Structure 1
Amino acid sequence: MSLVFAFHLDRVLGLNRSLPAVLRTFHSEVLPYRYISGTPRPAVWWDPDIQHLAEKDNDQNSVQLTWVQYQKLLQARCGSHTDQRSAHCVGVQHSEWGRLALFDFLLQINDRLDRYCCGFTPDPTELCVENLLHAKCGNTKDLKLVHILVRKADPSRLVFIDNAGRPQQSTDNLNFRLVEGIDEFPEKAVSVLHSGCLENFLLRSLYTDREFWDSHGGAGALRPLIQVVQQRGNILLQHIRDKKLRLKRDL
């Protein structure tokens, strides 16, 4: 569910960085039984142009970044203050990080900018705790980013994959580490959050995937999830006002 919901949120906000995802029921005998048991499953468009590192243990990245390197990269404002083609900037336009941070904050996706769960209090059953990643939070130079991906044809723009959000994350335990170091956010996405129309826009968009809509109970069942996202959006808007952060207009 979360992958499909994330795709629609991405499009409604005008970010346009997620791979298309739909919910479908599969029937092909070629597939294992768990895929054809009658339960709708997400189907995500595969993009062969996504660039992966050659290392077997790090192939879910196009570029290798630690948390410290990432923060320095944000300070450099690549593409405006610093040549984005320099090794320090890894080729990604500065405004892309604001898009990613906004998207991840609304959905509370930690397995990208904060896979170690350093920015919130994780449940003991979380993988980051069970795999002893959370214990490394005290040493920032060892913290690595994951799922930082670009296309070979356009390495200046990020691609968002594995967008599994955390709808149950409480407002008093939100992960503000996701927006740490971000000094600008996309103007269009912020205007949608500010307009109060996010619920209507999302319901209209989700309705186009009728299998998703019907299997999740329609508008009545989806409104609580959308309202969670809007509440986080309001918190992010306050963060932007408090920090007097810039809004970036797409050209």
Structure 2
Amino acid sequence: MDTMEPRTYLLLHGGGGVHTMTAFGNLLAERAGARVLAPTHPGFGGTPQPAELTGVTGLARHYVTMLDELGLTGVTVLGNSFGGWLAAEIALCASARVSAAVIVNGIGVEVDGHPVTDIRGFTLAEIQAHSWHDPAKAPTPSGTGPSPDVRALIGYTGPSMSDPTLLDRLGDVRIPVHVLWGESDRIVDAAYGKAYAAAIPGSTFTPLPRTGHLPQLETPEELLEALLG
């Protein structure tokens, strides 16, 4: 009897680090029977970062190469925040390995009147206040300054945390894309998310109520339901 291979998801974390994806990855594997890959971006979590790996497009190509080396096909790439930007860039790579992309409160585009909140100089508590619908549910922050992962993030994105060419380039995406957005996000608001989706041909936009910038942490069940339909 033939058995279907499990769908593979590549989960791409944002500036908060890979731990922001771990629990959701476990939930996705359990509920959907999926194979889940949740790597740490080079330079995050104390990992080394190759000198030549400096920009978002280069990091996207790094992950496409990883999928090639693993011989995976039919991969759904799901990214949150900075990881959403990466997912968009991977979708633009037009790799035969990737069949769909999911952008969850992504950053990277420039939308008139809806800038990305500049978190440089924010304490972890201030970042959480902007990232959660209910900051009381956020983990207790440790330290007073930006985390090493935030510094790694700026190293990839630059201080603006955006690419002025990305919004126009998204018109070249040719795979299905689902854009999901926590409506209470104060890092990138819902109007920003709608503009992100509108730039991608045939994309689907799903708002997530009572949710901030990190749906996979704040409302994982709702995110999973929206993802799997």
Compute the TM-score of the two structures, normalised by the length of structure 1: 0.30
Q: Which has the higher contact order (CA 8 A, sep 6+)?
A: 1
More helix by share: 1
Compute the TM-score of the two structures, normalised by the length of structure 2: 0.32
Larger radius of gyration between Structure 1 and Structure 2: 1
